[in-house]
Amino acid sequence: MTGQEQQNLAAPCGLYCGACSAYVAGRRGDTERLEELAKRVAQYRGQEVEVKDLACEGCLSSEVIALYCRDCVLRACAFEKGLSHCAQCSDFPCQPIIDFNNDGMRHHSEVVDNIRRQRETSIDAWIAEQEQRWRCPQCSCVVGWYARQCPDCDTALPRRF
């Protein structure tokens, strides 16, 4: 993975796109999982969602971004301010980021802490930490936020949230 591809996986909001269920399934070519995710996203959004709508190269990609991230107000806010990450913003923590952190979606519940960590270290150091965090401890396969077992070696994975 190139340096730019790694950077694309650090969403402005503090999420690590490299552990997104759709991103991981897409990279693995797991069409069954992508179809399942498309149905879930469609139910959540109340609109038809196709597998192609989940294709993504990370939130900072200028090419391919998943449907649910294209219209993200946090992403738009950062870009409007000329920033690539909320960690660079003097208004952090703002109410929209706090609301996102507390919206009940488990993987969102750590964005404030993630942004603080990005500020403590750097975006690059945080990305390196995330790349390690979201790997199977047994075989180093990339795993998603909600994976309970490794898709390659079947090792049970710890709950992360």
Please check the confidence at residue 45 and state whether its pLDDT lies above 90: no
- Rg of the chain on CA atoms, in Å: 15
The answer on pLDDT for 2 being more than 80 is no
CA distance 142 to 140: 6
User: For the chain, how many residues are written?
Assistant: 161
pLDDT recorded at residue 14: 96
**Average pLDDT, stretch 90-96?**
96
Q: What is the pLDDT of residue 131?
A: 95
The set of residues, in sequence order, having a beta carbon less than 8 Å from that of 33 and lying 6+ positions away, is 21, 25
Given a cut of 70, whether residue 41 has pLDDT beyond it is yes
Q: At residue 63, does pLDDT exceed 90? A: no
Sorting pLDDT into bands at 50, 70 and 90, what band is 153? very high
The pLDDT score that the predictor gives to residue 46 is: 85
Per-residue model confidence (pLDDT) at position 3: 81
How far is 144 from 67, CA to CA, in rounded Å?
18
Q: What average pLDDT is seen over the chain? A: 93
Q: What percent of the chain has pLDDT over 90?
A: 80
Which pLDDT band holds residue 1 (cuts at 50, 70, 90)? Answer: low
Domain limits, the chain: 3-133
pLDDT in tens, 98-125: 999 999 999 999 999 999 999 999 999 9
